[in-house]
Structure 1
Amino acid sequence: MSRRCELTGKAVLSGNRVSHSNRKTRRRFLPNLVNVTLTSDLLKRSVKLRVSANALKTVDHRGGLDAFLMKARSEELSPKAAELKRAVAKATVAVTSDAVAA
């Protein structure tokens, strides 16, 4: 399992640990990843994803998983999340066409 957020693409960064004597040694900055279950309103199902805490705040700010996925770029998403985005887009088209027909 890679250390990469499935929604934002946030991954491991590297840098220097700097001591008091200004000696530099390499270190890794790991993203704050959490396993969460998010619910899609349009698809009416839950999805388990491994996302960063920052992405979780962004999903909440944008109004849910569906809104986040529609605004997110497909290049940043994991294959699982990209497939979910396509399903949400398809469901959105179906819902709007039903509303127009009625």
Structure 2
Amino acid sequence: MSRRCELTGKAVLSGHKVSHSNHKTKRTFRPNLLQVSLLSEALGRSVRLKVSAHALRSVEHRGGLDAFLTKAADIQLSQGARELKRKIAKAGEQPVERAAS
């Protein structure tokens, strides 16, 4: 599995570690990835995703996983997140049946 956020596309970056004497050595900057379960209201189930802490804050800010995915561009989402986005859009089109009380 790659070290890439499934929602925002954040990945490993490379750069230099610079010492006090300005000596440069290669290093990597890894994203803060978390394995989380997010609830999809349209699908009525939870979904496990590998997301960055920044993406998790963005999901909460936008009002949940469904709202985040509908506004997100397809190019930055992983293949699994794109399929999830299509399922949510399809579930949102169908009218919800309500029990008569």
Give the TM interval when normalised to the shorter protein. over 0.9
SS of equivalent residue, structure 2 residue 75 = coil
> 1:93, CA displacement in angstroms?
1.4
**1:43 equivalent in structure 2:** 43
Structure-to-structure mapping, 1:12-51, within 5 angstroms:
12-51=12-51
Deviations 1:34-71 (A, max 9, x none): 00000100100110000000000000000000000000
Q: TM-score, normalised by structure 1?
A: 0.92
Q: Which amino acid aligns with 1:30?
A: R
**1:58 equivalent in structure 2:** 58
Q: Which amino acid aligns with 1:93?
A: E
Tell whether 2:80 aligns with 1:83: no
SS of equivalent residue, structure 1 residue 11 = coil
SS of equivalent residue, structure 1 residue 95 = coil
**2:9 equivalent in structure 1:** 9
The structure with the largest helix share of the pair is 1
Size of the aligned set, in residue pairs, is 97
